[in-house]
């Protein structure tokens, strides 16, 4: 079977990139011919996988209707935002199309950059126009499923396929003395957040929570791992958090680590005494599961997909409530059961199991999820 994976970009460290790479490896492992089509240069360390990526645009694809893009039996179209390659969807007459929906942040939650607000508004509006071209639609949480139904999706086309955590990488381990020295945290209590410093993540509320935590646990720190410089909005949010920390007297406890290599990320989870997220919008929230797998208590806002992902394995607090983020009790057994639901062992050894039976004479594919090996 010939499979094309399509997305706006391919960044190996973000959730969409990791999902796409997992699909790429999965299809190759099962003997299928796979290519990736994106609009920008990929950020992938593996040269062998990078060679399978084609950087293109709609005009180039239309200029060569004999290219491999048009000969595929299956197109997996990723949708984190609207992008130009989606303009060719209506021409995919011979291929079956699976839409992998990664959720789109509502523009009102990103109020600082007019260009991003415009892009998000377009991306939300375009959803209803993209849906009719999909034979099946993969979503990663019931929240995303409800979101698509509200945009007019046919519920019979939707398949719930959660992201997964690799239990070989994320597991309870001792804190790294090297990392503690590197960041000057010694044995201080650590609140951890992992993710982009985007406006909807509300990292400022975590700074507020740090003030409350320090009243009970003097010397506590907020360790923030993720991109805080790659976009003007990220830089603005980070600066606001630092100014706020200065004003509240906890500046030495707010540590922006930045992006870290993928193989170093598990060690940062092992540094944490509690994982915190005050995000107002998540289609899933992979770091929540990575924290659970690492044996770290979780405190998260009760917004969007968080309640389903966390279940009763962590503490859910009212979105926007910094005061509630200051405490969490260990819930070891429940946490174990919850992260196991999303482990790669239980989702057929890949981020999610995607089986598509491809026969040229069929008009519909069969998209199956298996929770057993």
What pLDDT score was predicted for residue 246? Answer: 96
**pLDDT given for residue 349 in this prediction:** 31
At residue 163, the pLDDT reads 86
Handedness of CA 44, 47, 50, 55 (dihedral sign): positive
C-alpha dist (Å) from residue 19 to 95, 269, 297: 21, 20, 25
Closest CA relative to residue 61, chosen from 53, 72, 69, 52: 69
The predicted model gives 92-109 an average pLDDT of 92
HSE at residue 70, side-chain half, CA atoms within 13 A, is 13
Q: Are 319 and 278 in contact (CB under 8 A)?
A: yes
Q: What is the pLDDT of residue 319?
A: 81
pLDDT tens digits along 53-99? 999 999 999 999 999 999 999 999 999 999 999 999 999 988 999 99
Task: List the single range of 82-86, 150-154, 268-272, 363-367 with lowest mean pLDDT.
Answer: 363-367
Q: What domains can you pick out in the chain, each with its CATH number?
A: 2-164+346-368 (3.40.50.2000), 177-341 (3.40.50.2000)
Bridge partner residues of 37 (DSSP): 6, 54
Confidence tier at 146 by pLDDT (50, 70, 90): very high
Residue whose C-alpha is closest to residue 299's, from 180, 199, 223, 193: 193
- Closest Cα to residue 49, out of 23, 74, 77? 23
Q: How far are the Cα atoms of 70, 76, 78, 189 from residue 216, in angstroms, in the given order?
A: 61, 50, 45, 11
Cα–Cα distance, 25 to 19 (Å, whole number) = 10
Tens digit of pLDDT for each residue in 314-352?
A: 888 888 665 655 444 344 445 544 544 554 443 333 222
Average pLDDT, the chain: 85
3-class DSSP state for residue 76?
A: strand
Q: Is the pLDDT of residue 361 over 60?
A: no
State mean pLDDT over 286-301.
93
């Amino acid at each position: 079977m010939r499979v094309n994976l399509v997305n706006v970009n391919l960044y190996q460290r973000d959730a969409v990139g990791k999902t796409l790479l997992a699909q790429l490896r999965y299809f190759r492992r099962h003997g299928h011919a796979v290519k990736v089509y994106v609009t920008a240069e990929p950020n992938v360390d593996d040269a062998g996988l990078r060679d399978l990526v084609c950087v293109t645009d709609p005009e180039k694809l239309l200029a060569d209707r004999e290219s491999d893009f048009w000969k595929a039996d299956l197109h997996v179209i990723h949708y984190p935002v609207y992008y130009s390659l989606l303009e060719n969807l209506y021409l995919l007459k011979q291929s079956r199309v699976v839409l992998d929906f990664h959720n789109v942040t509502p523009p009102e939650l990103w109020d600082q950059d007019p260009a991003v607000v415009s892009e998000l508004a377009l991306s939300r509006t375009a959803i209803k126009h993209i849906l009719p071209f999909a034979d099946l639609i993969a979503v990663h949480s019931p929240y995303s499923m409800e979101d698509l139904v509200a945009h007019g999706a046919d519920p019979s086309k939707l398949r719930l396929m959660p992201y997964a955590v690799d239990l070989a990488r994320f597991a309870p381990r001792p804190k790294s003395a090297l990392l503690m020295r590197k960041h000057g945290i010694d044995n201080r209590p650590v609140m951890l957040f992992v993710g982009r410093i985007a406006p909807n993540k509300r990292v400022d509320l975590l700074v507020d929570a740090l003030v409350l935590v320090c009243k009970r646990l003097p010397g506590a720190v907020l360790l923030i791992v993720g991109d805080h410089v790659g976009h003007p909005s990220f830089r603005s949010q980070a600066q606001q958090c630092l100014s706020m920390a200065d004003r509240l007297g906890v500046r030495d406890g707010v540590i922006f680590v930045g992006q870290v290599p993928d193989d170093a990320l598990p060690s940062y989870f092992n540094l944490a005494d509690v994982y915190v997220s005050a995000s107002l919008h998540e289609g899933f929230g992979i770091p929540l599961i990575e924290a659970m797998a690492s044996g770290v208590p979780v405190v998260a806002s009760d917004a969007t997909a968080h309640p389903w992902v966390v279940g009763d394995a962590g503490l859910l607090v009212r979105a926007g409530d910094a005061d509630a983020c200051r405490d969490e009790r260990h819930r070891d057994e429940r946490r174990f059961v919850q992260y196991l639901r999303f482990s790669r062992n239980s989702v057929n050894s890949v981020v999610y199991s995607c089986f598509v039976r491809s026969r040229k004479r069929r008009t519909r594919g069969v998209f199956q999820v298996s929770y057993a090996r």
